[in-house]
Amino acid sequence: MDNGGASGDILDFIMRNGNRCLTRVKMNISDDEQIRYEADRWEYVEDGVCCLRHTFGSSDRTMYIFFTADNMMRSYNTAERQVDRMIDAICTFEKGKFRKADLVTVRRNVVAYIDVTVFVQTRFPYKGEEERNALILSLLDVRSGKFNLESSEQLKPVEALNKYRERSAVEHLIHFLKRITGLKPMRVWKESSIRGSMILALLSETTIVMARYELREDRMETGGNGDMVVADFRPSTESMFWSSGQLTVCRIVEKDKRKHAVHSNWDAVFRDVFADIRGDINSRSIFPA
Q: What confidence score (pLDDT) does residue 145 get?
A: 92
pLDDT (average), residues 89-108: 79
Q: Is 256 helix (H, G, I), strand (E, B) or coil?
A: coil
Instruction: Report the distance separating Cα 90 and Cα 97, nearest Å.
Output: 10
Res. 116: pLDDT tops 50: yes
Q: What confidence score (pLDDT) does residue 51 get?
A: 94
Q: What confidence score (pLDDT) does residue 49 get?
A: 93
- Write out the DSSP string of 105-131: -----TT-----------SS--SSHHH
One-letter amino acid at 127 equals K
pLDDT (average), residues 123-129: 73
Q: Is 258 helix (H, G, I), strand (E, B) or coil?
A: strand
* Predicted structure pTM score: 0.62
Give exposure, 202-225, as e/b (b: 16+ Cβ within 10 Å). Answer: eebbeebeebbeebeeeeeeeeee
Alpha-helical regions (H) of the chain: 8-16, 29-37, 69-94, 129-139, 157-165, 168-175, 191-213, 237-245, 268-277, 283-286
pLDDT (average), residues 135-154: 90
Number of residues that make up the chain:
289
Torsion (CA) 106, 108, 111, 114 in degrees, nearest 10:
30
More confident residue, 24 or 205: 24
Res. 280: pLDDT tops 60: no
Res. 75: pLDDT tops 50: yes
More confident residue, 95 or 54: 54
Phi, psi of 6 (to 5 degrees): -90, 35
Q: CA 268 → CA 229, 260, 286, distances in Å?
A: 24, 19, 12
Query: Contact 132/126 with Cβ under 8 angstroms?
Result: yes
Q: CA 225 → CA 70, 89, 145, 196, 213, distances in Å?
A: 15, 31, 21, 48, 31
Q: Is 17 helix (H, G, I), strand (E, B) or coil?
A: coil
- Write out the DSSP string of 33-67: HHHHH-GGG-EEEETTEEEEEEE-TTSS-EEEEEE
